[in-house]
Structure 1
Amino acid sequence: MTDDERLAVARDMFDAWNRQDWDRAIGLFAADGVLHSVMQDPLVGRDAIGERIRALTQGLERIELRVKALGVIDGRVFVERVDDFDVDGHHGEVPVVGILRIEDGLVTEWLEYYDRATLMRGMGLAADHVHS
């Protein structure tokens, strides 16, 4: 894949999140893809990723992944963004850095770096809340 093709897949993923099109977002992962919020255990496989996305987005009223910087380094897509969201009447904004490995038009690995306590506060939850 070219870098432009990788960036197009990443933009498609971010657009799916912004539109809350979870089927599309989940479908952009490879069958054996990995979603890893680095402060938690990685999720492996489209089914596990889909379960987590659907659980995490219950009560989500609105989300916008505001991309600040996007580029490709050594074949991986790097994104700096702010996730701006409303969930169950709470508003949150979380700075995030993501690194996506994209092969054959699908995300094979997505690493996410953010402050979990900031995310939990934005969702109106305790910082030590465990979401299954």
Structure 2
Amino acid sequence: MSGTNEKLVLDFIDAWNRLDYDAIYGAMSEDIFYHNIPMEPCNGMAEVKAFFDQGGFNFDGAQWDVHHIAATGHVVLTERTDKFRIGEKWIAIRVMGTFEIENGKITKWRDYFDLAEFQGQMAEVMGASAA
């Protein structure tokens, strides 16, 4: 079971790398709990879609690099660098992710990252694009 769950998470990450939102949302359960810590959590697919579709920043590309992955039972842990392209610039965020899987769908997804690091990079990118 762990191997199947690990593959589901890797496929989910690959969907992000393609920005294939149908595959991204298709991997999650309708009652998904998503917490992009330290931000406010999302409860259910409607809130998750609102977060990503009308989120705080728009990006043109993504490249999530998995450095380590571990799976046991219904839980998959990832250590990643999530990169996002905004215009011609890239930001890179170090992330630890926890995915809980039930019946072949992600039911809980928590990502832990440094908000100050993210905000600093966003300020640089937005400042560069405004110049």
TM-score range, shorter chain: 0.7 to 0.9
Aligned equivalents of 1:5, 1:11: Cα separation in 2: 10
Would the aligned equivalents of 1:59 and 1:88 in 2 still touch at CA under 8 Å?
no
Deviation readout 1:15-72 (Å, 9 max, x if unpaired) = 1100001121112110101110121221010111011112238531221000000111
Would the aligned equivalents of 1:22 and 1:53 in 2 still touch at CA under 8 Å?
no
Give the corresponding residue for 2:63: 64
Give the corresponding residue for 2:22: 23
Aligned equivalents of 2:60, 2:4: Cα separation in 1: 31
Is 1:104 aligned to 2:103, yes or no? yes
How high is the sequence identity, in percent, across the aligned residues?
A: 24
Would the aligned equivalents of 2:79 and 2:97 in 1 still touch at CA under 8 Å?
yes
- Unmatched runs of 5 consecutive residues or more in structure 1: 126-132
Q: TM-score, normalised by structure 1?
A: 0.85
Q: TM-score, normalised by structure 2?
A: 0.86
Letter of the 1:122 counterpart: Q
Give the corresponding residue for 1:124: 123
- Counting matched residue pairs gives 125
- Unmatched runs of 5 consecutive residues or more in structure 2: 125-131
Instruction: Considering fraction of residues, name the structure with more helix.
Output: 2
Q: Alignment partner of 2:40: what SS?
A: coil
Would the aligned equivalents of 2:74 and 2:102 in 1 still touch at CA under 8 Å?
no
